[in-house]
Chains A and B, each alone.
Chain A
Amino acid sequence: MNPSRQLTIFLSVALLLSTGCTSEDEAGSGALSIAVGGGAAVREGFPHDEGAVRFEFADGWTLQFSKYIVSVGNVTLSSGAGKTVASWPHVMLMDLTTSPTASLDLALLEGVPALRHEIAFDVRPPDADTTLSEVDEADAALMRERGWSLLAEGSAVHPTHGTVRFRLGLPLARHYYNCINGKDQTQGIAIEANKTTGVFIYAHAIHIFWDTLSTGDEDLRFEAFAAMRGDDDLVTEEELEEQDLNNLRGIDGQRLLDQDGSPVFYNDNGLLRPGEQTLYHFVLQAFRSSAHFNGVGLCSDSALVD
């Protein structure tokens, strides 16, 4: 065999062997630490500042959370081919207001191949096997009974309208996957060998008070919630079902108007069907879009079928 043919065969074999990506055995391994955070909204309420941006209600309300309990779990890391390489097949109920940073640890995955992986997780109602993190058993029992994956409680204050308390339970059950990493805008997460990489699932609480499910021209509002309070000055998710998005009422019972006197329009982005066009269904969809990865990285989502 002449030298050039030998060289060609050698290069071809080398190319063939290199066509797969780095194998898991060759990559070494690391660990992944996963937390769940609620951000400044849970920590400080409204108004709050994030960098140069002030997040405050357009209708003059201020608000503080006393509980922001989310039910999160079933974290999986998978290769590009869909093979699961590590998982945490549990669900944890955690009250993010109990932490000074509004962040609590969820899971630690060890022995993870030091490669880039897709990450997926669930937001799902708790069951009998769900572990509790800073959540009392009474709240856990209520959430299990009602099928809620969020229990948000707190109070809002308006200089004219006074104080209105809220307790919102939302029964979301969604699987989040194909997540973009909010820190570097890449898809998934790269695990480094012999290191623990930290990531967080962002329960972006601000969403539930935005007046749009679309993009742009969003305002934070609370009056549509406050208007549905009962005689006990408490508003619950049941009362939000009475707030018709096509006929929004203000706290005075009259048409809900913006600061400039124009009618307020909650933009559902064409998502809510007839029969669902209420503030309750709007907030449920807003909560659905509030789960991010590592900052404001967006994920695809689908309904949980089990």
Chain B
Amino acid sequence: MKASEAGASARVRTFEPSVFLVGLSLFATMGACSEEEGEQPIVFELAVSGAASVDGAQASFETYAGWKVELDTALLSIGPIYFYEGEAEDGSLASLFSLPSAYACPSHAQYNKGRVLGELLRQEPVDLLVGRSELGALDGLSGRLRAAELHLHPWGEISSTPNNGASQALAQQTVLFRGQAQLGEQSIAFEAHLDIPDEGLMRVVESIDTDVELRGDGSGRVLFEVLLDQVFATVDFASLTTQEQNVYVFTADTQAYNALLRGLRSRYAYRMSWSEP
């Protein structure tokens, strides 16, 4: 045994009160005023799909206002999306357990939304009727995802993927819906091809509530669903007045336009889930 190794061995065997106290002190210092963060860098997949809030076909649903809607086109320019660790305003846990729920305030500073656990920084044209659209892998941090923030800009306004059929159909608007709505004997063919006014944070859907644990080795997936029955929840199709080639179009002076705008901006029109193979 070399002398240096003998010394090291001796130090291991001997209880050293000063070392113990230094260690204890540093441990206590760390614990006194902060909580250790445990996040790890991860990669996860993101997919987007149209859906209904209750079981049923995504293209066919009944709205809160009682209209039976059949969609044959549902295109949405989606993104950026930010996934936050902070609790959503009026989140499900807040209502159940009276936990924190922060809010924004007109003309005042916004509340801290917590750490960003993942983000889609570009926009994607998504066909909501074709099942799951895979948007690829995102870098992120492990942790408990509690809220998301969705940005809805006209197609082409944000850095985006190359054009495809959906983006060409969107034609620099944010949404394109076509379909048929029925209430009693009344049947209305409609088209909604519009963007959201660029005023304040109108193009941002804040505080989308969720409770998803992001973890794993890159094989996990966040499925971000657009709940089409909620998007159209309060639309009164009978308020549409302008026809183009026998199809009623959504114009800004109608209840239907305002209600669709409110539906697209509703935090209850989106849902997230996590899956691993």
Contacts and interface: CB of A to CB of B under 8 A. Distances in A.
B262 A245 contact: yes
B73 interface: no
Interface stretch (A97-105, A131-139, A259-267): A259-267
A277 interface: yes
Interface stretch (A66-74, A111-119, A150-158, A206-214): A206-214
Contacts of B6: none
A274 B253 contact: no
A265 B102 contact: no
B33 A218 contact: no
A218 B107 contact: yes
Chain A: number of interface residues, binned into ranges: 35 or more
A300 interface: yes
A141 interface: no
The interface centre, meaning the residue of A5, A245, A269, A301 with most chain B CB atoms within 10 A of its CB, is A269
Interface in B194-217: 197, 199-202, 204-207
A195 B39 CA distance: 43
B64 A275 contact: yes
A143 interface: no
B21 A16 contact: yes
A52 interface: no
Given A246-B259, A298-B111, A12 B200 contact: no
A289 B102 CA distance: 10
A160 to B, nearest CB: 22
A263 B258 contact: yes
The interface centre, meaning the residue of B21, B197, B230, B239 with most chain A CB atoms within 10 A of its CB, is B21
B240 to A, nearest CB: 13
Given A268-B265, A300-B101, 18 more contacts: A12-B18, A15-B22, A177-B100, A215-B106, A215-B108, A215-B200, A217-B200, A217-B202, A247-B258, A267-B199, A267-B265, A268-B262, A269-B201, A273-B266, A289-B103, A289-B105, A300-B100, A303-B95
16 contacts: A8-B21, A8-B22, A12-B18, A13-B21, A19-B28, A217-B200, A246-B234, A246-B236, A248-B258, A255-B253, A267-B265, A270-B266, A289-B106, A303-B94, A303-B95, A303-B98
Interface of A: 5, 8-9, 12-13, 15-16, 19-21, 80, 175, 177-178, 207, 210, 212-218, 244-248, 255, 262-263, 265, 267-275, 277, 288-289, 292, 296, 298, 300-303, 305
